[in-house]
A and B are shown apart, each in its own frame.
Chain A
């Protein structure tokens, strides 16, 4: 919804156009996929990089923040592939099935592809080339949106993982999807996860992208009565745009959590449609920011069927000149009665130069629903600090305790115990580093 006429292209926009023109012929997939790419690029080109006058990107002005668009990454060499090995270490206790994507390429020899009944795993680029039926049925179709970051991903998508969990399958080990970046280049990864009726899966997405510019997207389809737990952990030294598109079927339990720290410029956007009735969902996030870091968590949650329950809970801790953005839009479609949606966003400002922008929106078209949102922004409670200090705890330690408690509360909302500990450890490590 740009109010103004499209202006002259920025250097980054021009570079993206050149990248697409050059790569077009070699990108995986022909026929309908190529058509999809072309349409998506035209859509992006018409809008350009989103800027502050685009309502959905009001607080993350890419036109101003992205100075250059790097060229596409080359295939990784052996040493690059090896770096991915350690990334999942914090989760080793869970013995996850590890799948590795390095510099935008699915690395089969670094991935655990041992067979398991009801589970099919493959590379996205191969699926695109092959004209895989699952990919053809879902890619670009899970959630309709005109979002420019997604359009860019669709036009340049290279590789990623394709995971299909057949009906009734309970995948025993969590699947860890490791995304590593080692080059001073750009990657556009796209993954598809289809969880059929009554199946269960835990998905841990870990991004360690260094100075690689990342635009990643994950499409998720959860069938009736399924259960999907999704965790995304991000550490990115360069631009990182991430889109989750999800369509959730009836009586499905869906949990999604995004943990972000030590990242220059991150946008995590989730578009979730509860297409079937009586779904249960918890969507959350924790962002830890310092320096001039900028983390944006944007949600569009659409309750399209009756009896959906969703809880959205986001927290951020801001140091120095960190800027945390939370935008959450809950849409209750006509007829989606008995929806119960509650959204809460809290920002803890530890510095005078930090900034927290909150925009929790409700859009409701059904009368028998319960929806609410809350948002707070503020410093640590002086009274609590005083209480602790009166008991002989030095100020810095008292602060650390309170911040840890603040962070702990949202980590506790994760559905599985085993996922909490590694997150809490990472958070504590971050808190220690701030001194």
Chain B
């Protein structure tokens, strides 16, 4: 079945030449000298006033990186990256943490406004409204200290965090939410204990590069038994030319804690490619839960494949304690190249990992994305729902690994990955690895729409729907389920995708 017109239109609306966030902010930047060497690493570390141990950690990563080769196993093709032709650090000039509106550069303010961060948030971002003070923008909703619907934002502009909101209020709850560069100085014990414990510095080429040169990112620590009172979010913006963005995020949910974290990203349109190599580490201790959502909308390049972000990201969560849970939700529409496999290490007994993904590629985008679920503990469960939609001349690959180790008795996994092709110049690929090393493990993998419950179809058809309508209804409902994993704050982006129908999809 070919795609229905409605889907075609929807995808068209977010096609590469429709990129809305491609403007550039004219702002003076301070950059590290071009290229990568031990001096660059020292420069970045110095800029961040880092303690000695952190510098040594970075240098160790750098030395390791020089011995590594770029991986070639993914189904992506791109010109060789010249790692000496990139600025590894760029920050708005004379940047200081803003204490009031006057301190935040108006250009940056304007940037965030253009990016459509809701005014309310921006108001907070700019520091106009004080904590607990009702907003002038709405009368009823935000009254009182009720935290409902509020989001604390950490805005990262090139290599630095320009503002973090709601810090004080979060502090009251005991939650630490700050740029990681600050955390390294203020909470060295926590950072030392957890940084690199999920993604070690030797992990892979891009993660090692990140370990050497990461500049900023968010740090979250939720103490035992605390349910984080609001959604936390980071908005990444790449602005400067020829720079790479290397952010590092570390989230720790201590025993019984809960946190929901959102991440958004955009970049200006440029003819050259820019590198983004991030590392995200999540640690969930006993009974803790982390929900991590991403709307990735880096500049995808133009219709001819010029420019665009190379997005090489290592994201991994460690369900370290029993009954912990980590859930990844991603909506991927941007980047020229996406190389991204948010994974879960299900170490604790009865822990649970989830991965929900909608990846849409058009133009000449190449997506190679998926997940890894490593079942190590007993009674661990995981669920993978992946929807790939390829249009234009793009290639969209799902690559996933599910494995149960000898001791992971009663491990369970359910995987469903569907893809849809729009046009005959694109490609959709599925590369799942399913390794069962335990007889009590139950793994189910399916990549087809024909597995829609016959009962549901029968129910719809009995009420007069055609087979196609019935399928569309059931599948749409299902996609909605995936998108509903996204917190409300990302509804705007998610809306664009919500009506995409996956009927006519191929495995």
Q: Give the shortest distance, in Å, between B193 (CB) and chain A (any CB).
A: 34
Residue in A closest to B450 when the chains form the complex, CB atoms: A372
**Measured between C-beta atoms, what is the minimum distance from A135 to chain B in Å?**
36
Q: For residues 440 through 471 of chain B, which have their beta carbon under 8 Å from a beta carbon of chain A? A: 440-451
Judge whether B424 and A366 touch: CB under 8 Å. Answer: yes
Hey, which chain B residues are within 8 Å of A375, CB to CB? 432, 434, 443-446
The answer to whether B443 touches A373, judged by C-beta atoms less than 8 angstroms apart, is: no
Q: State in angstroms the CA–CA spacing of A376 and B444 once bound together.
A: 5
Distance in Å from the Cβ of A4 to the closest Cβ of chain B? 9
B434 touches A355 (CB 8 A): no
Residues on A with beta carbons closer than 8 Å to the beta carbon of B446: 372-375
A352 and B438: CB pair below 8 A?
yes
A337, B1: Cα distance in complex, Å: 10
B437 touches A355 (CB 8 A): yes
User: What mask results when residues 372 to 384 of chain A are scored 1 for a CB within 8 Å of chain B, else 0?
Assistant: 1111111100000
Does B429 have its Cβ within 8 Å of any Cβ on chain A?
yes
A21 sits at the interface (CB 8 A): no
Given contacts A367-B421, A367-B424, contact A3 B72 (CB under 8 A): yes
Interface residue from B409, B428, B448 paired with A373 (Cβ < 8 Å): B448
Which of A347, A349, A367, A370 has most chain B Cβ within 10 Å?
A: A367
Stretch of A115-123, A164-172, A186-194, A357-365 that contacts chain B: A357-365
Could you say which of A342, A359, A363, A366 contacts B433, with CB atoms under 8 Å apart?
A359
Please, which residues of chain B bring their CB within 8 A of the CB of A357?
A: 433-436
Query: For the complex, what is the distance from the CA of A354 to the CA of B69, rounded to whole Å?
Result: 35
Q: Which residues of A contact B448 (CB under 8 A)?
A: 342, 370-374
**B22 beta carbon closer than 8 Å to chain A:** no
Q: Which among B69, B427, B436, B443 is the interface contact of A364 at CB below 8 angstroms?
A: B427
Contact of A377 among B424, B428, B441 (CB under 8 A): B441
Q: How far is the CA of A178 from the CA of B2 in the complex (A)?
A: 47
Known: A362-B430, A370-B506, A375-B445. A335 touches B424 (CB 8 A): yes
- Whether A363 lies near B429 (C-beta < 8 A) is yes
Chain B positions within 8 Å of A353 at CB level: 406
User: Which of A342, A351, A352, A375 is the most central at the interface, judged by chain B CB atoms within 10 Å of its CB?
Assistant: A375
Contact status B427-A365, CB under 8 Å: yes
Given contacts A352-B406, A367-B422, A374-B448, contact A361 B443 (CB under 8 A): no
Which of B72, B409, B424, B506 counts the most A-chain CB atoms under 10 A from its CB? Answer: B506
The answer to whether A354 and B419 touch across the interface, beta carbons within 8 angstroms, is no
Kindly identify, within residues 328 to 350 of chain A, every residue whose CB is under 8 Å from any CB belonging to chain B.
Answer: 334-335, 337, 342, 347, 349-350
Given contacts A351-B439, A374-B448, A379-B439, contact A358 B434 (CB under 8 A): yes
Chain A nearest CB, measured from B291 CB (Å): 28
Given known pairs A352-B440, A362-B447, A379-B440, the reply for A373 and B430 (CB within 8 Å) is yes
For A364, list chain B residues within 8 Å (CB). Answer: 419, 421, 427-429, 506-507
Q: Give CA–CA (A372, B449) in the complex, Å.
A: 8
B431 CB–A CB distance under 8 Å: yes
A232 to B424, CA, bound (A): 37
Asked if B423 is at the interface (CB within 8 A of a chain A CB), the reply is: yes
| Chain B residues whose C-beta falls within 8 Å of the C-beta of A66 in the assembled complex | none
Q: Least Cβ distance of A57 to chain B in Å?
A: 14
Instruction: Say if the beta carbon of A369 comes within 8 Å of chain B.
Output: yes
Q: Quote the shortest CB–CB distance from B91 to chain A (angstroms).
A: 37
Q: Is B14 an interface residue (CB 8 A)?
A: no
Q: Establish whether residues A373 and B436, one from each chain, have CB atoms under 8 Å apart when the complex forms.
A: no
* Chain B neighbourhood of A350, CB < 8 A: 439
Complex contact B73–A372 (CB within 8 A): no
A412 at interface, CB cutoff 8 A: no
Q: Given the interface contacts A367-B423, A374-B445, does A362 sit within 8 Å of B1 by beta carbon? A: no
| CA–CA, A1 and B75, complex, Å | 13
Q: Is A356 an interface residue (CB 8 A)?
A: yes
Asked whether A377 lies within 8 Å of B443 as measured between CB atoms, the reply is yes
Contacts of A337 on B, CB cut-off 8 Å? Answer: 424
The 8 closest A-B pairs by CB, nearest first: A372-B448, A377-B436, A349-B439, A367-B421, A358-B434, A372-B507, A378-B442, A362-B430
B interface list, Cβ under 8 A from A: 1-3, 69, 71-73, 406, 409, 419, 421-451, 506-507
16 further interface pairs, Cβ-Cβ under 8 Å (given A369-B506, A377-B442, A378-B443): A352-B406, A352-B409, A356-B435, A358-B432, A359-B432, A363-B427, A364-B419, A364-B429, A365-B427, A367-B3, A367-B506, A370-B448, A371-B448, A372-B448, A373-B448, A376-B443
Complex A-B: 5 CB contacts under 8 Å: A334-B425, A354-B439, A370-B450, A372-B448, A378-B441
